[in-house]
Amino acid sequence: MFKDITPELRAGMPELRGKLEANAPTAPLSWFRTGGPAQVLFTPADADDLAYFLQHLDQQMPVLVVGLGSNLLIRDGGWEGVIVRLGKGFAEVSIEPGLRVRAGAGAPDVKVARAAAEAGIAGLSFLRGIPGAIGGALRMNGGAYGGETKDVLIEARGVARTGEFVSFTNAQMGFTYRHSSVPDDVIFIEALFEGRPGNPEEILAEMNAITEARSSTQPVNTRTGGSTFKNPPGKKAWELVDAAGCRGLRIGDAQVSEMHCNFLINHGSASAADIENLGEEVRRRVHEMSGVELEWEIKRVGRNLA
């Protein structure tokens, strides 16, 4: 447990409208369902509230933003500082002229894919295959089934750690494979996408095909973080993991998925340390077998238990 600093924060931010919680459990915030407490969990009411909070927060205070937690491992010792969770105030999706879709960073990717499909906007159906929210897609350059965020993004808006509103064109996002070079402390609040003309029924059929393909190849209804390691140039991470004999490898209740061996699974009572240690053991074996250094795609944050 951390010191409860929410009374001081409230006192210094009399106009704050969002919710502050001390020592909030983080397991419900991530797909792995693991992790120690957040010293403070802040759910801003809207973008202005988030900016106000950041302006009035000690600039040295560590801040982490979480979306749907589908690419996140929060360590067992928790997060000392503030975790920002974007809730309903950030989930709006609207269609704009010119085959454009504006989406709040808290909107689930699937909701954006569906809105685009219904409006006859093609090119965004890949979002159906990513179980996160738009902020995570911007940070990770999320992609699936031949499309990625960088293909359709016009502009992203965010709030810097100082509380200033900032915006980034597609080029300024510095997108590479599963990465954006925008400074880590920027919290995205909104994205503007542009697709191409399409037929709603065909796009919805494409989305259904993605749903089926996912459920037959990925353990989608389990406690997992999706692909654990990035594909090294010219190689597939899962093939390296498989060739190193790690399919099904287990530490406690953490296991390398039998179905898709770039996925790690929490069978129920794995700690974050079990999952991370399993990932490190996989990296060690892959390196020993092939000389390749696998790079974590899953973001690991927070501290270990003392």
Ligand X SMILES: Cc1cc2nc3c(=O)[nH]c(=O)nc-3n(C[C@H](O)[C@H](O)[C@H](O)COP(=O)(O)OP(=O)(O)OC[C@H]3O[C@@H](n4cnc5c(N)ncnc54)[C@H](O)[C@@H]3O)c2cc1C
Q: Which residues pair with residue 224 across a beta bridge? A: 265
Asked whether 130 and 211 are in contact (CB, 8 A), the reply is no
Residue 70: CB partners within 8 Å, gap ≥ 6? 30, 31, 130, 131, 132, 136, 225, 226
One residue of 35, 81, 104, 142 binding ligand X per CB under 6 A: 142
* Sign (positive or negative) of CA dihedral 175, 181, 187, 192: negative
Q: Looking only at residues 74 through 103 of this chain, which bind ligand X when binding is defined by CB under 6 A?
A: 86
Residues in the interface with ligand X (CB under 6 A) total 33
Q: Does 279 bind ligand X (CB under 6 A)?
A: no
Q: Does 104 bind ligand X (CB under 6 A)?
A: no
Q: Looking only at residues 50 through 69 of this chain, which bind ligand X when binding is defined by CB under 6 A?
A: 64-69
Q: Does 262 bind ligand X (CB under 6 A)?
A: no
Residues 265-274 as b or e (16 or more Cβ within 10 Å = b): bbeeebbbbb
Q: Does 187 bind ligand X (CB under 6 A)?
A: yes
Q: Does 71 bind ligand X (CB under 6 A)?
A: yes
In the chain, the N- to C-terminal Cα span, in Å, equals: 12
Which DSSP category does 85 fall into?
A: E
For residue 125, give the nearest of 141, 91, 148 by alpha carbon. 148
The HSE-up count of residue 111 (CA atoms within 13 Å, CB side) is 15
Question: Which range in 19-27, 49-57, 128-136, 267-275 contacts ligand X by CB under 6 A?
Answer: 128-136
Q: Which of 148, 194, 276, 297 is catalytic?
A: 297
Q: Does 159 bind ligand X (CB under 6 A)?
A: no
For residue 87, give the nearest of 112, 102, 65 by alpha carbon. 65
Q: Does 31 bind ligand X (CB under 6 A)?
A: yes
Q: Which of 30, 227, 257, 271 is catalytic?
A: 227
Q: Does 270 bind ligand X (CB under 6 A)?
A: no
β-pairing verdict for 179-180 and 79-85: unpaired
- Smallest gap from Cβ 271 to ligand X, in A, equals 18
- Smallest gap from Cβ 257 to ligand X, in A, equals 10
One residue of 63, 73, 137, 261 binding ligand X per CB under 6 A: 137
Q: Does 18 bind ligand X (CB under 6 A)?
A: no
State the residues that interact with ligand X by CB under 6 A.
Answer: 31, 64-72, 86, 105, 129-133, 135-137, 139-140, 142-144, 187-188, 218, 220, 224-226, 299
